[in-house]
Amino acid sequence: MQTPKHGGAPTASNLHSPQPEDGQWVMPSENYDATRFSGLDQIDTQNVRNLKVAWTFSTGMTRGEEAAPLVVGSTMYIVTPYPNYLYALDLTQNGALKWVYKPGVDPSSQGVACCDVVNRGAAYSAGKLFYNTLDNYTVAVDAQTGRQVWKTQLGDINKGQTMTMVPLVVKDRVIVGNSGGEMGVRGWLTGLDAKTGKIAWRAYAAGPDSDVLIGPNFKPFYDEDRGKDLGVTSWPPGAWKIGGGGAWGWVSYDPELDLIYYGTANPGPWNPDQRPGDNKWSCTLFARRPETGEAIWAYQIGPHDDFDYDGVNENVLVDLPINGQTRKVLLHPDRDGYVYMMDRATGEVLSAEAFGYITTSTGVDKKTGRLQLVKAKSPGFGKTVRDICPASPGAKDWQPSAFSFKTGLLYIPHNNLCQEVSATAANYIAGTPYVGATVRMYAGPGGNRGEYTAWDPVAGKVVWTIKERFPVWSGTVVTTTDVAFYGTMEGWFKAVNAKTGQQLWQFKTGSGIIGQPTTYRGPDGKQYVAVLSGVGGWAGAVVAGGLDTRDGTGALGFTNAMIDLPKYTTRGGTLYVFSLP
């Protein structure tokens, strides 16, 4: 079920060459550019149909498995959902257990996690693994022994804070952020000393410029993002202190510009009538210095955010030919339904084209950079608004895309969901939900709830798309041999032709897949593909949490869209590793 191909995609000959392929996978995004592109070439479009299970490993967990398996040398590392065990598996012995690290997570943290007790994995650097625990600790673990090197507390579950995102290690900094926008937290991104775990800096998403780490070198491209202490003045008095804006998504890094890139989450509460103003710096893309956290530019994607669209999705860093000139760009497929292509040095929006079905806006004003909202779709007191598309999980949520240096295309796993919203009054009580909205989601046009799309970033168009019954909540990876892998919530792990979208192979795993596939070269010289199966997350909470499907407002309205998921999959965490015979 593909759409016709459009011309214009750049070719390998005019793209910046990817980093050398060493056969490992040391961070979930594969590299600082977040391309999730592999140069391994043993598995190709002709022989991928012969993939077989090489070995499996049970995590023993029944909640959502969103992490990426890492490979460093002859060892694979995986992180589970709560209680966030870190497993080291011996690749010379078909995944035999080498050691397990158990951080001792506070059980109470489960009660303040808005969208399942997931964890998106670890990152490796300089002999250590770094990851976050649900109860707001960042830990460093010796990669050889499993011994804890340091453990630093960064937040407070009693205030509704949790941590689920993947750290990024840049130079001597471990970059981490918090979750909890539905609990009235105050969002932040923090840089830790990689050797000691001590906090080096913290940049809040709201508050005075001194708290946001905005100083004299801050030069946003658009006028609307310029001004003093906008993180205070764009909120009702004091509301910025409980206004959300967490940093629970992805962080990328450009070594040449020496900038990290990340997005902040939704403002709280969801009811927009309770927080007039632009609510800076929620739903914002930031460029910062990794060592100090100093903000260099920012672009608020969603001023005032009426729909819980956030801005936390991945930022893929590539150099592309734009109008005859090679530009250093950032590709950001956002929950609002647009793929933003931005100049990553300045924060200028070069294009913002729709990749999903949208009723909530009509586009982005290129002069001001401001999203043009459809006012009739904005929720508020005293009304129920229907046909809000995309729904709150967006045309695409956290599930990360991949970029191919062979095809020049971005591969986007995403959703096709709409919703109706009735706004209510939200009262802030620390550590409790602070939402102010009753939501029911449902399938978008066509009835399919998910899609896997190949996107031409230069032409700003869909090349082909595959429709799926449920949201495509897994990540994806693409190889130099034009094979792209992704998983479905029914539990199918699929390989498709990256040029055409033709399905080449599939395997039914034991549970729905919401994890991030990776591929690596084993100690035996063979190429392998790995993915965690285990339904859950926001989309799969109806199964993982055993929710009553008679209440469509469960899981912040996602239950209504996933009533039939229990008919297709069951709980259970298993790592699957595939190879050619």
Predicted confidence (pLDDT) at residue 351 exceeds the cutoff of 70 = yes
Q: What is the mean pLDDT of residues 16-21?
A: 73
In the residue annotation, 266 being an active-site residue is answered as: yes
Q: Are 537 and 526 in contact (CB under 8 A)?
A: no
Strand 483-487 relative to strand 476-479, pairing: antiparallel
Distance CA 202, CA 110 (A): 25
Per the structure block, which two tokens stand in for 505? 């192979």
Residue 9: pLDDT band with limits 50, 70, 90:
low
Q: For strand 137-142 and strand 128-132, is the pairing parallel, antiparallel, or unpaired?
A: antiparallel
Q: Residue 331 — pLDDT band, cuts 50, 70, 90?
A: very high
Q: Would you say residue 177 has pLDDT above 80?
A: yes
pLDDT > 70: percent of the chain:
97
> C-alpha dihedral over 512, 516, 517, 518, to 10 degrees?
-160
Bridge partner list, 556: none
Question: What tokens were used for 15?
Answer: 């793209």
Find the catalytic residue in 84, 132, 266, 416: 266
Digit-coded pLDDT (tens) for 178-223: 999 999 999 999 999 999 999 999 999 999 999 999 999 999 999 9
Number of continuous H segments (helices) and E segments (strands) in the chain: 4, 38
Query: 12 falls in which pLDDT band (50, 70, 90)?
Result: very low
**pLDDT at residue 325, rounded to an integer:** 94
How confident is the model over 60-70, as pLDDT tens digits? 999 999 999 99
Tell me: pLDDT of 2 over 70: no
Q: What is the pLDDT of residues 365-406, one digit of tens each?
A: 999 999 999 999 999 999 999 999 999 999 999 999 999 999
Residue 19 pLDDT: 76
| Dist. CA 457–CA 352, nearest whole Å | 10
Angstrom distance (rounded) from CA 522 to CA 76 = 10
- Provide the 8-state DSSP code for 346: T
Report, as an integer, the average pLDDT of 302-308.
Answer: 97
Q: 266 in the Ramachandran plot: left (φ > 0), alpha (ψ -120 to 50) or beta?
A: beta
The predicted structure's pLDDT at residue 20:
86
CA distance 82 to 70: 18
Choosing from 33, 66, 305, 308, the catalytic residue is 308
As a whole number of angstroms, the distance between CA 532 and CA 75 comes to 16
Task: Please classify residue 230 by burial: count the beta carbons closer than 10 Å to its beta carbon, then call 0-12 exposed, 13-18 middle and 19+ buried.
Answer: buried
How many Cβ atoms are within 10 Å of 55's Cβ, its own excluded?
17
The rounded distance, in Å, linking the Cα atoms of 282 and 333 is: 17
User: Is omega for the bond preceding 281 within 30 degrees of 0, making it cis?
Assistant: yes
List, as one string, the DSSP characters of 275-296: S-S--TTSSEEEEE-TTT--EE
Q: Does a cis peptide bond (omega within 30 degrees of 0) precede residue 83?
A: yes
The pLDDT assigned to 16 comes to 58
Length of the chain: 581
> pLDDT digits over 89-130, tens only?
999 999 999 999 999 999 999 999 988 999 999 999 999 999
Question: Active site residue: 30, 182, 225, 306, which one?
Answer: 182
End-to-end CA distance of the chain: 30
Question: What is the H or E stretch that residue 99 is in?
Answer: strand 96-101
Average pLDDT, whole number, for the chain? 96
pTM above 0.95, yes or no: yes
pLDDT tens digits for 434-455?
999 999 999 999 999 999 999 9
Q: Is the pLDDT of residue 13 over 50?
A: no
Compute the chain's Rg from CA coordinates: 22
Q: Is 310 a catalytic residue?
A: no
Q: What is the mean pLDDT of residues 398-424?
A: 98
pLDDT range class, residue 6, cuts 50, 70, 90: very low
Q: For 243-267, what is the mean pLDDT? A: 98
What average pLDDT does range 447-476 have in this prediction? 98
